[in-house]
Amino acid sequence: MTVKQPIVLNDLPPDLDSTCLPQHIAVIMDGNGRWAKRRGRPRIMGHQRGVDTLKDLLRCCRDWGIPALTAYAFSTENWGRPLEEVEFLMTLFERVLRRELEEMMAENVRIRFVGNLAALPSSLQAEIDRSMKDTENNTGIQFSVATNYGGRQEIVQSCRAIADQVKQGLINLDDIDEALFEKYLYTTGIPHPDLLIRTSGEMRLSNFLLWQLAYAEIYVTQTLWPDFNREELHQALLDYQQRERRFGKV
Ligand code: FPP
């Protein structure tokens, strides 16, 4: 009797066109709490499992030739969650960063945290600084983690910074255009995502990368984040490759 082996999908599946892959994928990792609840476990179990999913997605993007990934780890609204969950998440981010830094270096990952980082616990800020500094010259996949991130907050802080420059006479009102505005965003220098994936069925942007997602294709799956895997990414990419991207033209 032959035993059916699970498909591992180490390489880009042959039904995908390697010349038409998104150059940057953004993910809203939703459904961790529900995943845990369905198993009668505390919500934090879902977040813990979610880290493994994110790690494999990052590797998968690298393996399949997708050069940038951004994950929504904590929104400016997430402070409204129960205190124990917020504290758990902060500790989890710190622990994961400390644990994974060596491996990220070995795998040539360049990490950037985007969001209002100054409001995070100081021990987490220290790990974030260290990981960004240590990996800044790496040349592999660009991995961005949105932490204490809100799209509106990002746009407002850019406006304030630009207004301040105008006030100081360093730039003129006429100098303000989309290219200049870009320079004040947390994501400056990173090409905008072509594809947004949201797990667990909700059809919302939830204040994620409002400026940067202007022309992104959106793919929503019912799968809960901890269950998202390479086959799910394969399906998202097949769907993406069937879309006609017109950028407002005919
Ligand atoms: C949303 O699910 C998930 C989060 C708010 C946290 C996601 C964070 C991780 C997976 C950890 C990432 C770690 C690093 C270091 C980048 P939910 O709790 O809203 O789920 P629910 O909608 O089912 O309640």
Mean pLDDT across 31-49: 97
User: Of 27, 28, 29, 37, which is best to mutate to test ligand 1, by the most ligand atoms within 8 angstroms of its C-beta?
Assistant: 29
Does 80 score more than 70 pLDDT?
Answer: yes
Domains along the chain? Answer: 22-149+192-241 (3.40.1180.10)
pLDDT at 215: 96
Mean pLDDT across 214-235: 98
Work out the burial of residue 12: count CB atoms within 10 Å of its CB; fewer than 13 is exposed, 13-18 middle, 19 or more buried: middle
pLDDT at 92: 98
Mean pLDDT across 171-183: 97
- Annotated catalytic, 30? yes
Mean pLDDT across 223-244: 96
Whole-angstrom Cα distance, residue 142 to residue 127?
Answer: 18
pLDDT band at 71 (very low <50, low <70, confident <90, very high): very high
Does 81 score more than 80 pLDDT?
Answer: yes
Closest Cα to atom 4, ligand 1: which residue? 73
Does 1 score more than 60 pLDDT?
Answer: no
For ligand 1, the distance from its centroid to the CA atom of residue 59, given in whole angstroms, is 19
pLDDT band at 2 (very low <50, low <70, confident <90, very high): low
The pair of structure tokens assigned to 172 is: 């003129």
Assess whether the C-beta atom of 69 lies below 6 angstroms from ligand 1: no
Closest Cα to atom 8, ligand 1: which residue? 73
Closest Cα to atom 10, ligand 1: which residue? 50
Whole-angstrom Cα distance, residue 13 to residue 16?
Answer: 6
Q: Is the C-alpha dihedral spanning 138, 142, 145, 151 positive or negative?
A: positive
- Annotated catalytic, 172? no
Q: Is the C-alpha dihedral spanning 200, 49, 66, 145 positive or negative?
A: positive
Query: Percentages helix, strand, coil for the chain, rounded to the nearest 5?
Result: 45, 15, 40
Does 5 score more than 70 pLDDT?
Answer: no
Does 3 score more than 90 pLDDT?
Answer: no
